A and B are shown apart, each in its own frame.
Chain A
Amino acid sequence: MKFVNIREFSSSATKLLRDDVEKGQRVVITRRGKPVGLIIPFTDKIAVAEALLEEADSLLKESGLTEVDVLKTLEKVRAKKSLCLRL
């Protein structure tokens, strides 16, 4: 894992992506010594999936949707699909 501050990051983003991230290295971006962001290589499929699931969780929660609501809607969609297949 490599740590760079915001100033370094903005001046050398292209180089960082090419020399580190594309080679599988994670990069933590810091401001005044504290981590504020993380760049994950797209080849690290578990870390990418984790980040995507976290984003999905916030999107759904911001919208006030609950897991139960969405699962009920999924059941409706399945019932419709199965009806269409039988027709």
Chain B
Amino acid sequence: MPKVVIDANVIVSALFGGTPKKAFLKALRTCDIYISWIKLELNSLLDELDDKLDRSKIRRLRSIILNLLSASKVVEAGKKIELSRDKKDNAYLNLCLRVRADILLTGDKDLLEILPRKLKPSGLNRLKIVSPDVFLSESK
């Protein structure tokens, strides 16, 4: 099965339905999903939303996210690559390198704009960085 790393922004968008939701479900059905720190990132996100959501909803969303990610493999990423304009995004590229990912599924513009020829010298030969739309339109 292809290996896919999923950006937290795709998980967040999937919670609102639409194409990201379909893309997440396709990844769950057809790929091995790898994550690193995103459970923590999504937990901090829910903490940050505590003035807009009541506690019971936050508790429920926490449990939903945990369940959605329960089939993913958790891997610690190293720190080798610095390719993205936004340095925070490099963590995803490093995770891709670590697990030899085939696909990075993201909604992040900086990551999506990295040219494939720049990925090869960093050891990310087979990586495709794609948006949920593109991931869904591809066969399989």
A is bound by B: yes
Is there an interface contact between A67 and B12, defined as CB atoms closer than 8 Å? yes
CB distance from A80 to the nearest CB of B (A): 8
Is there an interface contact between A57 and B17, defined as CB atoms closer than 8 Å? yes
- Cβ-based interface call for A38 (8 A): no
Residues of A within 8 A of B12 (CB): 67, 70-71, 74
Is there an interface contact between A57 and B16, defined as CB atoms closer than 8 Å? yes
Main secondary structure of the interface of B (DSSP, over half): helix
Range class of the B interface residue count: 20 to 34
Choose the segment among A3-11, A12-20, A29-37, A58-66 that binds chain B (4+ C-beta atoms closer than 8 Å).
A58-66
Residues of A within 8 A of B44 (CB): 77, 80-81
- Cβ-based interface call for A52 (8 A): yes
CB distance from B10 to the nearest CB of A (A): 10
How many A residues touch B, CB cutoff 8 Å? 32
Please encode chain B, from 32 to 56, with 1 for each CB lying within 8 Å of some chain A CB and 0 for all others: 0000000001001100110011100
Is there an interface contact between B64 and A56, defined as CB atoms closer than 8 Å? yes
What's the Cα separation between A69 and B61 when bound, in Å? Answer: 16
- Cβ-based interface call for A87 (8 A): no
Residues of A within 8 A of B25 (CB): 46, 49-50, 53
CB-defined A-B contacts under 8 Å, sample of 18? A49-B28, A49-B68, A53-B15, A53-B21, A53-B25, A53-B68, A63-B53, A63-B54, A70-B12, A70-B16, A70-B49, A71-B9, A71-B12, A74-B8, A77-B44, A77-B48, A81-B88, A82-B87
